[in-house]
Structure 1
Amino acid sequence: MTVPSRSDSPLAIVIVGLTITSSWGNGHATTYRALIRALAARGHRVTFLECDKPWYRDNRDCPQPEGCRTELYGDPADLAARFRDLVRSADLAVVGSYVPDGVEVGHWVQETARGITAFYDIDTPVTLARLARGDREYLTPDLIPGYDLYLSFTGGPTLRRLEREFGSPMARPLYCSADPDAYFPDPDAAVRWDLGYLGTYSTDRQPTLDRLLLEPARRWEEGRFAVVGPQYPADILWPANVLRIEHMPPREHRAFYTAQRFTLNVTRADMIAAGWSPSVRLFEAAACGVPIISDRWEGLDELFVPGREIVIADSAGQALATLSGMDEEERRAMGLAARRRFLDGHTPLHRAQALEGYVLEAREARRVAS
């Protein structure tokens, strides 16, 4: 792996995000942890501000994440009272998607910060779909031009749309990643499942999960399958050869991935429509060297080469053919090829370096504008 050199200009960064302390029912925490650890390794000083919510308070698997100072606040008034000077003096102040009272928080950050401001959208296609419906839970159209940067989990044409239709001064991709120190192969792991899936229930993902995992499980009774994640309805009929696990903390993810012959990647409908929206699970599995079976979406082939680094399946038959037909040598080679691709361009250090470049861009844009 080629590791970018340490930053020569350390930044003081403040992030107001959904959560970093709890991975319960969300993919935000592990994304922030990996990125922040990489930023700290490159010399930056990061403070993470999280609204103290009971559902995260009761499920905190990482109360003091590595690489940053973490502070909890009660509401926007508490945030403003305690952290005004911190945000005002930051080189980069970031507000994340799904932050409680995100609109009020966003206005306050834009009014308070003197450095570069950014919106980090870990849910870009969902956000844009919400805005189209008039949903203003954590972002409004008028806030977008006020952020110097729109950091997006989605790349491709969505970035131009954010600039042209919504007035973002600068929309740039900041994809998720996975910590290579936490996600890596285990050649001695005992294989327990032929295909597994890790993800919180959502109505738009469920048809794909049914097509690419549950239906193959019904057809192949000797196969072994597993689905991990919370909030699945009680009325789902799980085949007898599918193990259900309600929640698995991140420290157990690697063991889960490496106990699978293949792992399944399922993408939300809004993200399929937008394309260029890789999930954190995609990179976690690749880092572990586990072959991935994925649904199809535009831009996936720019991240991993189909047939060599990933399998794209449209039907239960295609998924089942991969599970039963790929020989062991080819299976292992595919997993290792995906891991090489991850290490060459998709580690948290690569994301941190990209963020540094975007901040420099935004500063130059401010200079030119003034």
Structure 2
Amino acid sequence: MKRGLQIAFFGSSLVSAYWNGAATYYRGLIRALHDRGHRVQFFEPDAYERQRHRDMEDPPWAEVVVYGAEGTAELERALESARSADVIVKASGIGVFDEYLEAVVPELAGPNTLCVYWDVDAPATLDRMRLNPSDPFHGQVARYDLVLTYGGGNPVVEGYRAVGARQCIPIYNALDPGTHYPAAPDSRFEAALGFLGNRLPDREARVEYFFLDAAARLPGKQFLLGGSGWGDKPMPGNVRYCGHVYTRDHNAFNSTPTAVLNISRESMARYGFSPATRVFEAAGAGACLITDLWEGIEDFLEPDQEVLIAADGAQVAEHLAELTPERARVMGASARKRILQEHTYAHRAAQLESVLVGYSFPSYRGAVL
């Protein structure tokens, strides 16, 4: 009888999106893998108050194992439990024991076990390694059977090859249509333009450039900012800050404003081909999306038909000044149709299977691939 793969996944968090932008990506992919007959154990640390800010219970499509962040005893037990998996994944940006896990996980590789480094912020990782030749990850990259990234295209693939990766393949963000979909407007999120993103050093200047500058240019329109860490940020008077927005409210957040803004972090914009999860969340909700300019956007959405492109805050303001509610609805519907046809997590899971089947490990021969 054929069976699916057993996958052990060490990541930041599956059950909490609190200061954890990768949560949507993990959930969509892992749910789609489960739907295709695979079993996932997700190991995450009790760190950064994420367990206190859960936005979901343990799901039926993955086994969640939480280990302590104060010492390595529980982590060692988790690693021992993962040893029997067909695929063991070390994701980037866990936040605790990253260097330790990067070194230890490849030791679990073998004829029946594939070890994967999954980088959910490859531009930042590659920049960090370029700037620091002593970064310990230089010595670990080539020990992994495979590097996966959630974006970056050829610039990231070539960057990882240059630092010794055996193979690097992007598995892009996507839409889970069962999670992100059009919702009824919610008065909490009424605005001409909404932006949702945590305050991070690699993002803050671009939020000023694209979002706050646009707000200052259109004092008669209301702007809405969501995400953690912006409470003490000086803002124009027409910007309303609503704080952390739980995943359960993302559909309403994306469905209510006239348009929703995507702002790539600086490193992702520079590498290109790195659509954030909010691009697919917004499109899935049928939102009219305005995005900053980055190479590769046309691979996901057609400019001027399915998405509006802005090079700066002035162009964001121009789009908003000209945007009618009717055009916003048409563009949002077109974006949703495109994403459903080409960019769901079901598409990504099928792609991932085609990658894994290329490895002739004995345990894969009986897998449902």
TM-score normalised according to structure 1 size = 0.90
Report the identity percentage. Answer: 33
Is structure 2 residue 91 aligned with structure 1 residue 96?
yes
Deviations 1:190-234 (A, max 9, x none): 772110000001233223322332222223222111000111262
> In the aligned structure 2, how far is the partner of 1:192 from the partner of 1:81?
48
Partner of residue 121, structure 1: 119
* Alignment-mate amino acid for residue 94 of structure 1: V
Shift of residue 58, structure 1, vs aligned partner? 2.4
| SS of the residue 2:202 aligns to | coil
Q: Give distance in 2, aligned partners of 1:189 and 1:196.
A: 13
1:80-229 matches, cutoff 5 A: 80-84=76-80, 86-99=81-94, 100-114=96-110, 115-134=113-132, 140-186=137-183, 192-229=190-227
Give the Cα–Cα distance (whole angstroms) in 2 for the partners of residues 251 and 207 of structure 1.
Answer: 28
Decide whether the 8 Å contact of 1:33 with 1:66 is kept in 2: no
User: Tell me, what secondary structure is at the counterpart of 2:83?
Assistant: helix
Are 2:267 and 1:255 equivalent residues in the alignment?
Answer: no
For 2:152, the aligned partner's letter is: G
2:340 counterpart of 1:343: yes
Task: Please list, as runs of the form range in 1=range in 2, the aligned pairs for 1:209-288 lying within 5 A after superposition.
Answer: 209-232=207-230, 234=232, 236-288=233-285
Structure 2 vs 1, CA of residues 34 and 77 (structure 1 numbering), >3 Å: closer, same or farther? same
In 1: Cα distance, 2:161 partner to 2:253 partner: 42
**Alignment CA distance shift 1:82-1:288 (3 Å):** closer
**Unpaired runs of at least 5, structure 2:** 365-369
The answer (yes or no) to whether the contact 1:90–1:113 under 8 Å persists in 2 is no
Change (3 A) 1:187 1:253: closer
Deviations along 1:265-311, one digit per CA (max 9) or x if unpaired, are 00111111111111001110011110111111111122111111111
Structure-2 separation of matches of 1:303 and 1:111: 37
Q: How many residues align?
A: 357
Are residue 31 (structure 1) and residue 25 (structure 2) matched? yes
**Contact 2:185 2:252 survives alignment (8 Å):** no
Is the contact made by 2:273 and 2:294 (CA closer than 8 Å) also made in structure 1? yes
CA deviation after TM superposition for structure 1 residue 83, in Å: 3.9
C-alpha separation in 2, matches of 1:356 and 1:77: 33
Once the two structures are overlaid, the 10-residue window that deviates more, 303-312 or 186-195, is: 186-195
Between 57-66 and 182-191, the greater mean CA deviation after superposition = 182-191
Structure 1 residue 59: Cα displacement: 1.5
Cα drift, residue 107 of structure 1:
2.4
Q: Who is 1:3 aligned against?
A: none
The Cα of 1:314 is off from its aligned counterpart by 1.4
Q: Give a deviation string over 1:118-137, Cα, whole Å, max 9, x none.
A: 11110000111111232888
Partner of 2:75: 79
Distance, in Å, in 2 between the alignment partners of 1:355 and 1:185 is 28
- Do the aligned partners of 1:119 and 1:151 also contact (CA within 8 Å) in 2? yes
Compute the RMSD of aligned alpha carbons.
2.3
Residues 184, 256 of structure 2: 8 Å contact kept: no
For 2:77 and 2:54, how far apart are their aligned partners in 1? Answer: 25
The question of 1:318 aligning with 2:312 is answered no
TM-score with structure 2 setting the length = 0.90
**2:367 aligns to what?**
none
Are 2:304 and 1:307 aligned? yes
Paired residues of 1:37 and 1:66 also in contact (CA < 8 A): no
Matching residue within 289, 294, 308 for 1:292: 289
Contact 2:199–2:228 (Cα < 8 Å) also in 1: yes
